[in-house]
Amino acid sequence: MGQIITIDPVTRIEGHLRIEVEVENGIVKDAWSSGQMFRGIEIILQGRDPRDAPLFVQRSCGVCTYVHYLSSVEAIEDAVGIKIPDNARIIRNLLHGAQFQHDHIVHFYHLHALDWVDVVNALKADPKATATLADNVSNAPWGGASYFKRVQERVKSFVDSGQLGPFANAYWGHPAYKLSPEADLMAVSHYIEALRVQARAAKLHAIFGAKNPHLQSLVAGGVTCAADLKPDRVAEFKYLWKETQEFVKNVYIPDVLAVASFYKDWGAIGGTSNYLAYGDFPQTGEGSSSDLMPGGTIFRRKLSDVKKMDEDKITEHVARSWYEGKKDLHPYKGVTEPNYTDYDREDRYSWIKAPRYDGKSMEVGPLSRVLVAYGKGDPGVKKLVDDTLAHLSVPADVLFSTLGRTAARALETVFIGNAMETWLNELVGNLTKGDDSTYTPWEMPDKGMGRGLNDVPRGALGHWIEIDKGKIKNYQYVVPSTWNLGPRDAKGQIGPVEEALIGTPIADPKRPVEVLRTVHSFDPCIACAIHVIDPNSNEVYKVKAL
């Protein structure tokens, strides 16, 4: 056996994740992904008023704060059989679009960039040369030698203070960092600017959603912000949308391209084989058939053969997770009996279950969505992807990689961001016509079953609810990070992140920045991936004395 490297905690993610890799001759030979926390929201929901479920499950994640709220509300609407007003569909699309604008910016700059950008190296930069570089690659509204000199001084005084705060003790100076000092300085300055941009972008959520994180304006039947459908709110939304889009187009995209040009070798590292997208952003009241981002599946990277997604083929495996049994079940029939048996790479090693589609492990997320849309020939996505490939002078097969995943995230931010203007205009059109309806009244049924399937920043998200006597009988959700970060299944098939890590070159096993690059490219969000607990089987826990 090669050398085992453990990264715990994996930082710059949401939640508690442990990654282990086996390295032999400087290459990752095997990998294990493990969720390290367990909360229990699904069991807590049993017996409660179904209308409360969206508020509970929203607390699965404060990063992708909107998404569980949305899927839960849609699951209830599906169970009850109601159609929401057009304005409610539009406002939900706008809020969901805003989630993408915010989330992807934060991911690139604050959770991922430091895997590619050496903050300390930025101190060696010539600010004049940085200004020239920035003028060539970026359309940022700020810049110039004096600006970059001040950023550099600010970082220097920070480093000199001896209190390095969030930048302390990282992999600075690692040979895997390839940017010039000037490119590093440009990226560090955009890291700082993006801290402010994200706070402004989050206001998009507050306008029709009360606040961010944890919006509070969705209910089964529609939205509650009836009094906010007025010109000043719409104008504020449009202004902030425009400001955010300008950052995405003038800074985020150019930065991704600039960084990628130094790391083209990562177009052959970190890929997986199978891709799943549920699709999202209904453009009409007809539901998923009108989705802006289409659903579909791709197997063995065959882009020319995008298949229709069939939700009946979704199951969750538990054979290598800390749960009783080895059965794989559809979420409607989901059973969860925890059985913690200590961490064992050869047996059970994670609180995360292993979702499979038609028995296969599938990557979900921006890359899957972009590949499905590209494979289906969507002209908007195709142009964005082809232009990017041409800009970097690389062929389409580099998309199946860590670099492709990071680029796809940026490209869909533009694509979805562009669509937001259309939706905003539709909303204004409806209001101008005098249609200000936001809610369809409904009665709680005695019995019902429904699901909400969405494609959210991190990938395919599904919530399944069963209502009995007006209360929640069963509630299950299968989330993007369960798909991506899940462990092996009964057949020994590895999960997507595990697959992506195999083959990665490791320069220094004590400083495995290369592992973080691929893990972070999935934007792990772990708290919601490990949310189930069964109080009936507590006695089977074995807690090893530490």
Partner 1 sequence: MQNEKEKNRQEFYERLEEKGISRRDFVKFCTFLTATMGLSATYVGQVVDVFAAPAQRPPVIWLHFAECTGCSEAALRTMYPWIDEVLLDIISMEYHETIMAAAGHQAEDNLHAAMSKYKDKYLCVVEGSIPTKFDGAYGKVAGRTFLEIGREVTKHAMATICMGSCATYGGPQAAKPNPGGYKGVSAALGIKTINIPGCPPNPINLIGTIVNYLLMGKLPALDSNGRPLFAYANTIHDKCPRRSHFENGEFVTEFGSEEAKMGFCLYEMGCKGPETYNNCPIVKFNDGTSWPIEAGHPCIGCSEPDFWDEMSPFFETL
Residue with tokens 């004096």: 146
Indicate whether 496 belongs to the interface with partner 1 (CB under 8 A).
no
Minimum distance of partner 1 from residue 464's CB (angstroms): 19
Render 292-348 in DSSP notation, one character per residue. Answer: EE--EEESTT-TT-PBPP-GGGEEEE-TTTTBSS---B-GGG----B------TTS-
> Is 225 marked active-site?
no
Nearest one of 42, 41, 36, 47 to 11, comparing CA atoms: 36
Minimum distance of partner 1 from residue 459's CB (angstroms): 18
**Using CB under 8 A, which of the segments 288-296, 370-378, 485-493, 527-535 binds partner 1?**
527-535
Separation CA 217–CA 208 (nearest Å): 7
388: Cα separation from own chain's centroid: 21
Is it true that the peptide bond before 181 is cis, omega within 30 degrees of 0?
no
Task: Mention every residue, 6+ apart, whose C-beta is less than 8 A from residue 486.
Answer: 33, 321, 350, 352, 353, 354, 355, 361, 495, 496, 529
Indicate whether 242 belongs to the interface with partner 1 (CB under 8 A).
no
Is residue 225 a known part of a binding site?
Answer: no
How many residues does the structure list for the chain? 546
> Is 190 marked active-site?
no
Sign of CA dihedral 133, 12, 17, 477: negative
Minimum distance of partner 1 from residue 219's CB (angstroms): 6
Indicate whether 30 belongs to the interface with partner 1 (CB under 8 A).
no
Among 31, 187, 516, 529, which residue interacts with partner 1 (rule: CB under 8 A)? 516
Q: Which of residues 124-183 bind partner 1 (CB under 8 A)?
A: 147, 150, 154, 158, 161, 163, 165-171
Region of residue 523 (left: phi > 0; alpha: psi -120 to 50; beta: else): left
CA geometry: angle at 390 spanning 386 and 391, to 5°?
Answer: 115
113 burial type by CB count under 10 A (0-12 exposed, 13-18 middle, 19+ buried): buried
The footprint of partner 1 on this chain (CB under 8 A) covers a number of residues equal to 99
| Catalytic choice (20, 22, 61, 348) | 61
Among 144, 213, 282, 445, which residue interacts with partner 1 (rule: CB under 8 A)? 213
CA distances from 47 to 44, 313, 355, 475 (A): 8, 28, 26, 10
Among 4, 195, 235, 507, which residue interacts with partner 1 (rule: CB under 8 A)? 195
Minimum distance of partner 1 from residue 357's CB (angstroms): 26
**Using CB under 8 A, which of the segments 126-134, 250-258, 360-368, 508-516 binds partner 1?**
508-516
Minimum distance of partner 1 from residue 364's CB (angstroms): 20
Reduced to 3 states (helix: H, G, I; strand: E, B; else coil), residue 3 is strand
| Catalytic choice (34, 64, 71, 189) | 64
Indicate whether 11 belongs to the interface with partner 1 (CB under 8 A).
yes
Indicate whether 207 belongs to the interface with partner 1 (CB under 8 A).
yes
> Is 246 marked active-site?
no
Among residues 414 and 424, whose Cβ is nearest to partner 1?
424
CB neighbours of residue 335 within 10 Å = 15
Is residue 205 a known part of a binding site?
Answer: no
Among residues 58 and 484, whose Cβ is nearest to partner 1?
58
**Beta 459-468 vs 447-456: how paired, if at all?**
antiparallel
Q: Which of residues 424-483 bind partner 1 (CB under 8 A)?
A: 436-441
Q: Which of residues 61-100 bind partner 1 (CB under 8 A)?
A: 61-63, 65, 85
**Using CB under 8 A, which of the segments 203-211, 297-305, 374-382, 495-503 binds partner 1?**
203-211
Minimum distance of partner 1 from residue 406's CB (angstroms): 17
Indicate whether 541 belongs to the interface with partner 1 (CB under 8 A).
yes
Indicate whether 1 belongs to the interface with partner 1 (CB under 8 A).
no
Separation CA 163–CA 329 (nearest Å): 51
Separation CA 75–CA 84 (nearest Å): 13
Residue with tokens 């019902």: 448
Nearest one of 192, 186, 172 to 118, comparing CA atoms: 172
> Is 20 marked active-site?
no
Is it true that the peptide bond before 9 is cis, omega within 30 degrees of 0?
yes
Render 179-208 in DSSP notation, one character per residue. Answer: --HHHHHHHHHHHHHHHHHHHHHTHHHHHH
> Is 499 marked active-site?
no
> Is 14 marked active-site?
yes
- Binding-site string for partner 1 from residue 94 to residue 123, where x marks contact by CB under 8 A and - marks none: ------------x---xx--x----x----
> Is 71 marked active-site?
no
Among 52, 305, 344, 347, which residue interacts with partner 1 (rule: CB under 8 A)? 52
Minimum distance of partner 1 from residue 137's CB (angstroms): 22
Among 27, 30, 39, 330, which residue interacts with partner 1 (rule: CB under 8 A)? 39
Minimum distance of partner 1 from residue 361's CB (angstroms): 25
Nearest-Å Rg of the Cα atoms of the chain is 23
| Catalytic choice (107, 205, 356, 458) | 458
Indicate whether 202 belongs to the interface with partner 1 (CB under 8 A).
yes
Q: Which residues are paired to 467 by β-bridges?
A: 448, 472
Among 160, 173, 175, 199, which residue interacts with partner 1 (rule: CB under 8 A)? 199
Q: Which residues are annotated as a binding site for Ni(2+)?
A: 61, 64, 525
**Which positions make up the binding site?**
42, 61, 64, 525, 528, 531
Binding-site residues from annotation for Mg(2+): 42, 531
Q: Which residues are catalytic?
A: 14, 61, 64, 68, 458, 481, 525, 528
